[in-house]
Chain A
């Protein structure tokens, strides 16, 4: 018999097992960025799982089946809701989990359960569905301004092409030098590419997915996939790690079948262009640069070496690494749609990134995520440590003489 009160309704069998698998060892706290800045174990990964287990025991256990579900303490629900929404969903806890729980996928599903119960999302996250419905983006900005403020002159976009570029909402509205750099570098490669008209390039669905608001996802995904299919697209290129993540991992589910094109992160395309000789940087840059791995790009979809390959094509540079790099990368604070809700946490995390880059005597901090780009820039305001922050494609475009 179906239990509508069940807390595990939206979880996959693997995720249900994961909830039971947590040993509560607490080792993940050492790498949790939220713990680093809040020092609050009440919102830590094992505590979230402990609380969620209490909900399951109250509603789904053998005892609950025979004696009826127990009323769940409202405070416990509120505490859990806060903990799960304060998380940046960066997945560092899962990467360091002693039993291998895939937390980067688990936390969004627990958020979805809170949304189903009317307890989430939190703050401005609630306005996202309406904004996306109205404007196509979660920032409630006019659709016709999606490209116009930053789209470079002289770059032609094909009506139809086998390669398409998806700018993404955060890049288009909050990290414009980044998307401008993307387009300039794609143009420099010389292969024709297409883009959807600004009104048609709607949200990829990630902000809704990550905040547990899944109702519109099927519609958004179908609109986008069909629009690209109509343009004969075979490769969809995107620079935003969050967009790429949902495209690769979840679009096939919402589309109902395999996508008619492959998804590529822009660094894959550009690294390929360098390797094949279609791109070459002549200009030397005698600088020490440090690259930050976005959580949803490295841990999320395994794009780790390509950004480094791209940067190594710059003559004269010295590439530095953060202490936590590649799969062990530390969140810059922008993850999980928490940056505009738990602003202080996000700023503190962003400053940890800046401080480490400065401590390592880097001349530039290189990012490859629009959310990181917006947040780390914001975190540097009123901060005593400063460093030039540059997106990877912004830098490449500049060195190609296109910026």
Chain B
């Protein structure tokens, strides 16, 4: 079982990495000449873009209610991602170890924000355009959150077994899989999510930097600086 899970992990990881590398290579391949020459990005643009990305500022400008849910979702996801690094790092860095309490809060905020987003889009605002792919992904996230919470509070798994198994994954020494069914389910959902991650997770920050640069330049397109 441990070997099967390990192979599943490597396959999903390879699928994720290869897919993204191919996408990134395709961004630059055989590009036609451009009207606007290559530009230098100023420190101001970099910092503003960073704020745009970290605060999802463009979303805040168009829909502050949805922003609340989306920002909470993304922030919780980042916290949980970072805190989960403790399973693949040995020794665990102090900064990761110190995320225990924020991660406990994020573990509840994440499903709550997903529910909030769903209610806003489907019930309150009744959005005319709903991406079935996004909703499938949000559904998977919800299942992953719930299985994580169940594992934490109802059917605790042996954390030492899990750490042993996950360390085996990253050191290419396939170990025995933990016996907890909840863990197996949680891990399986993680693999499915890994293979289904949307292309925007890497592309959107780049587009936001470009947009910030464009916004900065627009007033000077037909006016002298």
| A residues whose Cβ falls under 8 Å from a Cβ of B | 2, 6, 8-14, 16-18, 20-27, 29-31, 35, 39, 41, 44, 46-47, 50, 53, 56, 60-62, 65, 96-102, 244, 248-250, 252-253, 263-265, 268, 301-303
Contacts and interface: CB of A to CB of B under 8 A. Distances in A.
Contact of A99 (B26, B27, B200): B200
Interface in B176-210: 198-200, 202-204, 206-208, 210
Nearest to A31: B62
A302 B219 contact: yes
A308 B63 CA distance: 29
B59 A21 contact: no
B33 interface: yes
Contact of B58 (A41, A100, A250, A265): A100
B128 A252 contact: no
B203 A20 contact: yes
B128 A29 contact: yes
Contact of B208 (A60, A99, A263): A99
B131 A50 contact: yes
A302 B207 contact: no
- Which secondary structure characterizes the binding site on chain B? helix
Given A21-B199, A100-B212, 13 more contacts: A17-B207, A23-B200, A26-B128, A27-B59, A39-B128, A46-B129, A60-B26, A97-B211, A100-B211, A101-B207, A301-B218, A302-B219, A303-B222
A26 B62 contact: no
B119 to A, nearest CB: 15
Contacts of A24: 129, 131, 133-134
- The 3 A-B residue pairs whose C-beta atoms are closest, nearest first, are A100-B211, A26-B129, A24-B131
B58 A17 contact: no
Contact of A13 (B18, B31, B129, B199): B31
B206 A12 contact: no
B207 A18 contact: yes
Nearest to A97: B58
B19 interface: yes
Nearest to B208: A100
B210 A14 contact: yes
Contacts of A13: 27-28, 31
A23 B214 contact: no
B9 to A, nearest CB: 20
B58 A99 contact: yes
B35 interface: yes
Contacts of B19: 62
A60 B212 CA distance: 29
B4 interface: no
Given A100-B210, A249-B36, A301-B222, A16 B26 contact: yes
8 contacts: A21-B204, A24-B129, A26-B131, A29-B129, A41-B129, A47-B129, A102-B214, A265-B222
Contacts of A60: 26
B200 A20 contact: yes
Residue from A11, A25, A302 with most neighbouring chain B CB atoms (10 Å): A25
B210 A26 contact: no
Contacts of A20: 23, 27, 199-200, 202-203
Interface in B112-142: 121, 127-131, 133-134
A12 B31 CA distance: 6
A61 B58 contact: no
A99 B207 CA distance: 6
Nearest to B35: A253
Nearest to B134: A24
Interface in B4-47: 18-19, 22-23, 26-28, 30-36
B225 interface: no
Given A21-B200, A50-B131, A97-B58, A10 B222 contact: no
